Structure 1
Amino acid sequence: MKEPLISVIVPVYKVENYLEVCLRSITNQTYENIEIILVDDGSPDRCPQICDSWKKRDNRIKVIHQNNSGGGQARNRALDIARGEFIAFVDSDDYIASTMFEFLYNQFKEDIDIVECGYCITENDDALFDDKNITYECKVFNTEEAMRENIRDRIFRQLIWNKMYRKNIIGNIRFPIGSKIDDEFWTYQVLGNARRLVYTSKVLYAYRQQENSVMHLLSPERRLQSIEAKIQRHNYIIKYMPNLEAESLSNLWYTCIYQGQLAMRRMNEKEYQHILKRLKQIMQLYPIKGDLSKIPGKSKLWLKLASISFYWTCKSRNILKIGL
């Protein structure tokens, strides 16, 4: 019986120095029944030519060329044409272990909808993967347990590329257009559709850390998008998983505090005062009420201080070098 098709989606933009390594790692997978959808997002370097060259070398590769519209639109176009029963994402400056897709696929049972593996951060092309016979953790979560881990930013984080998904749980969920952090708006919705999820600590993905990466270049103003993503997730949790509301709200406040700290460190006074005003408005719209006994002592203290003086809370944490 033929193995199910896995659609591998790769948005491509200004990565000509890394794209060959990325594509070699995907085409050399031990799981061979894959389609590889490369979406050239109007890249101004040699990436379009590299994509077309690889299409000639491997008939599993499809190439879409589009005007520069951002990673969200690139992934959406690929999702619209993906034929696979399973979906995986790889960023075009990263690379993966040769056994990644085979291992993730083998964790799927009838009621498993998402499988996540561990990843390593690297600056080179020779990351050490856990693709040999070594000990690793493997654990099953229900939807609410996985969402709690997402809130705590430990596992099942907003990262889209260290997971494999059943296509049917993605459905019509698409990435926002024009956002620099589109994964934060997308991942929690897909997690919420899953029946059961598997986490394995086995490291099979290499995330290439770059100084000019999107997250390094985001201004505090643009980082406010992460607050909007947390607000949308919080409203989703209120509606579908009310048991997690208090923890979600605490996380929203901490995200505001963190972004406030960042603004004070990187912007002039006029600019950061504008950001702090917006963050304070958000906290007033979503006030913390009721019992905070489940929140650890120091965390509860900072939330209390932020409700009294948001400015001095951010300033004090910067002076104490907390959270950065």
Structure 2
Amino acid sequence: MENPLVSIIIPIHNVEFYLARCLQSIINQTYKNLDIILVDDGSTDNSLNIALQYAQNDNRILIIQKPNALQSSAKNMGLEFIHGSELRECIFGNTTKVTSYTQNSFNEESKIIDKETILKHFTTNNNHIKTNLEDISTLLTQKLPEDSWIRFVDSDDYLPLDSIERCVRETQNNKHLELVSHSITNDNNTNTNDITCDSLCRYESLSYDNGLEMLKNHKKYISSFCWQGIINTNILNRYNLRHQLGIYCEDLDFGTILYALCRGFLYKNFIGYIYTIRENSTMHYTKTMPQKMPRILEPLRGHFTNYKDLGEYFLSYSKVIAALHIYRFYKQINLQDKKAYKKLFTTYILHYILLYKNKDILNLINKLKEEKLIKYPRLIFLYSKAREIYRHPSRIFKSN
């Protein structure tokens, strides 16, 4: 397509001081053929009202208002509502059913969800949808419209005005592409290529017909994909790929699997995203235990004396869950020479298994054993300890 539609998905939660800047950067993109999906994840400040004001003046904007359940649930909700999806056509058009598949699986078995069932969970007012669902996957996971393009943007960040145009231009020049990636920076203009691009940032341009080969050749052992470019829906449809719920750093396993499924990858060394470092972000913890914390963290409150330790534990937990997802994917994937990539996947899995001190509140070890991921548990633990001691000599911890 000469002028493909790009769906931009923006999760929103209590970002009233940043949201206008973000939305200005989206609506004023030099590339105009945009489908802008704002997912308000239970904001308690003025964020939703700001979003509604922008939606009044731009008919490209769709707002979805849902109960709070962390950013991963908001991203997944946005995916199900991209332009052309059965769910969107069912709610706003004449489609009478939606076909649902198993999430994060190659399983092609499906079930039909009728319109009456769907409308029990959604109410609409023009381009504003309200839902009682925290997690859309409890209702359905669709095949997304083929050959569509998606971009995720965090609501406290923003884009250079030519970001989308430059990405789309590459897809027009290279018809086989499924993933277009670029460099990022922060709002202090400090180059941060190492966060997202690792060994790629020394190149002006780099392309691969196989995303796995890119990972293997460049040893990208941190391969999240949250801000780095645009994604073709064909990749997601191969595995019904969505973000893991109930964890932080949900892009770690999502990104790894995204690359592994990709059949046409391009990296261009231009700044296509500007992110904001702020003290009250999801990943920032003070030592003082707050009166109110994210609901998902509340069960951990009584096990820690300060918020920083609690946050570090939950981050460790999240990375282990990411490792489990990558492991399940590797067991399912059908490759011509699967053994050639065994070391790559093993390294990813080990990289994310960092057990926190002597606490196992959420039964991580049992989860690993149930999945038969721990074949040689002592070796994994020793690897984990050695790496942590190397990075943080003062933080020597014990596992069960």
- Corresponding residue SS for 2:178: strand
Q: 1:49/1:128 Cα in 2 relative to 1: closer, same or farther (>3 Å)?
A: farther
Unaligned runs of 5+ in 1: 130-134, 264-271, 290-302
For 2:328 and 2:184, the matched residues in 1 are separated by: 30
Query: Residues 161-213 of structure 1: CA distance to partner in whole angstroms, max 9, x if unpaired?
Result: 21201122222322233222222232233323321111112111011122222
For 1:43 and 1:50, the matched residues in 2 are separated by: 11
For 1:311 and 1:181, the matched residues in 2 are separated by: 21
Alignment partner, residue 149 of structure 2: 86
**Structure 2 contact 229–272 (Cα < 8 Å) conserved:** no
Q: 1:122/1:106 Cα in 2 relative to 1: closer, same or farther (>3 Å)?
A: same
Alignment partner, residue 273 of structure 1: 358
Match runs of 1:70-85 below 5 Å: 70-83=70-83, 85=148
- Corresponding residue SS for 2:59: coil
Indicate the RMSD between aligned Cα atoms, in angstroms.
3.4
**Structure 2 contact 212–259 (Cα < 8 Å) conserved:** no
For 1:185 and 1:313, the matched residues in 2 are separated by: 20
Alignment partner, residue 227 of structure 1: 320
Match runs of 1:1-324 below 5 Å: 3-83=3-83, 85-108=148-171, 109-122=174-187, 137-141=204-208, 142-148=210-216, 152-153=220-221, 157-171=223-237, 172-217=240-285, 219-223=311-315, 224-237=317-330, 239-240=332-333, 241-256=338-353, 259-260=354-355, 263=356, 272-275=357-360, 285-287=374-376, 306=382, 314-315=388-389, 318-319=392-393
Give the TM-score normalised by structure 1: 0.76
Q: 1:198/1:68 Cα in 2 relative to 1: closer, same or farther (>3 Å)?
A: same
Task: Decide which structure has greater helix share.
Answer: 1
For 2:18 and 2:186, the matched residues in 1 are separated by: 15
Counterpart residue identity of residue 207, structure 1? Y
Q: 1:25/1:47 Cα in 2 relative to 1: closer, same or farther (>3 Å)?
A: same
Unaligned runs of 5+ in 2: 85-147, 193-201, 286-309
Counterpart residue identity of residue 318, structure 2? Q
Counterpart residue identity of residue 137, structure 1? E
For 1:151 and 1:277, the matched residues in 2 are separated by: 31
Identity %: 26
Give, in angstroms, the shift of residue 103 of structure 1: 0.5
Give, in angstroms, the shift of residue 66 of structure 1: 1.2
Counterpart residue identity of residue 203, structure 1? I
For 2:245 and 2:231, the matched residues in 1 are separated by: 21
Aligned length: 287
Q: Which runs of 4+ in 1 moved over 4 A?
A: 126-129, 275-284, 310-317
**Structure 2 contact 55–63 (Cα < 8 Å) conserved:** yes
- Corresponding residue SS for 2:31: coil
